[in-house]
Amino acid sequence: MKTIWKLQDAKSRFSELVNDALKKGPQYVTRRGKETVVVISVKEFSKLISDKPDFKTFLMSCPKVDDFQIERSKDPSRYVDL
């Protein structure tokens, strides 16, 4: 279950917010009733960003157009009454 903090409470009890993020996991902070930010530990943040390649590497790893074999269906077209 996620823990939700109002912004005013998060500001006044920031130390507790940080401790909860370290011990219990992500802490959600709301402003005017809408979730706006999540406080997470450095360990969690590192997990989020560590396994992702940079954009260039990602694009270069995509299949090349030359690798695709596209064949048209040899079924006859359907009859349309005009």
pLDDT tens digits, one per residue of 24-78: 999 999 999 999 999 999 999 988 888 778 889 888 888 777 767 778 888 888 8
* DSSP state string for 38-75: EE--HHHHHHHHHTPPPHHHHHHTSPPGGG-------S
Side chain identity at residue 80, one-letter code: V
Domain 3-62 top-level CATH class: alpha beta
- Of 53, 56, 4, whose CA–CA distance to 25 is shortest? 4
Residue 1, both tokens: 């279950």
Task: Work out whether the CA dihedral 62, 66, 67, 69 comes out positive or negative.
Answer: positive
* pTM beyond cutoff 0.75: no
pLDDT confidence of residue 12: 97
- Cβ atoms of 25 and 44 within 8 Å: the answer is yes
